[in-house]
Amino acid sequence: MKRLGRPLDLDGYNTYSKALSSGELTLRDIDIIISESDESILLHDRKLCLQQSQARISNVVNTFTHPPHVPHFHVVISRFNEPLFWIYSLALFNCTIFIYNKGHTIPIALPDNVHVIRMNNIAYEDYVYIYHIINQYHYYREHHMKVLFSQCGIDHCSHILHALTSIQSFGSYTSLFESIGHSNSWSDNFNTWNTPFIAVDRAMSDIGGGIPYLSEFKLSTGCNVSDLYAFYCDKWNVTQMNEPIFSPCAIFVVDSVSICQIPLRTFILMKSHVTHVHQTTNPFMAKVLASIIERLWYTLFRPPPI
């Protein structure tokens, strides 16, 4: 991140890990190699892109006025070290906010309706969402409400505060996805992909990293099947969709009734698998699994057939 403005990729991770293990290279050697690479010249452009995106989000948040009264809802936020400035405006809503913090200790005071839960840095937002559902499952069986699931960086939905003013009209599952957000700072893709729902590739070959990541995931986990969508639906006893769709970037609102139509045991099995992959493989495989589960949320929470 420091030298290239993007996370290390799987190829770099495998190459440098082997060199470190064999003693061929030190961390200092690797730092020099990366800083002198051709790609390092793009660092300035990536930082500028990131700053521009953050400025747009800040402008949207700073111009947001006091929200109208809406029915009480829950907010589940997965955080590493992303900025929290927008939480103060979010807390003006009639809501309870759960921030699952995997990064540095939060040094600032937050409103009374914000609860910070310290969490080990296990997997990605998938672990946080599942962990929260397990812990609040019985509460949601007794209390009918909307639940927002989001990462702390709101670059995928910079207008999230405005969207939530209409939360009482949301259905059983509502995608808040607007754009690929900061993801465009890792590549040359223009940030215009904003379809709320897209088709699931049953083979999951469209996940970030593509075929190389998917191949290593199958090798690492023993899930050597062509239809990973069907594999995980069967694994967790979830009814498949004939033509599955999903909402990108894991930012959505679900009705608590939709959450509790899934047996608690399913979420416990999901949590166990996420933990296992995190503990027994490299960090990239946990990211692949998070991308797979991202493609299953709508299948899990969609309205039951009439």
Going from the C-alpha of 51 to that of each of 48, 106, 296, the distances in angstroms are 5, 22, 32
Dist CA 64 CA 76 (whole Å)? 21
The three-class DSSP label of residue 246 is strand
Identify the pLDDT of residue 193. 56
The string of pLDDT tens digits covering residues 152-208 is: 999 889 999 999 999 999 999 999 998 877 654 444 444 455 678 999 999 999 998
The string of pLDDT tens digits covering residues 206-230 is: 998 899 999 999 999 999 999 999 9
Q: Specify whether the CB–CB gap between 53 and 83 falls below 8 A.
A: no
pLDDT band at residue 305, thresholds of 50, 70 and 90?
low
Dist CA 207 CA 198 (whole Å)? 13
155 or 79: which carries more pLDDT confidence? 79
Dihedral sign of CA atoms 259, 288, 244, 248 in order: positive
pTM for this prediction: 0.93
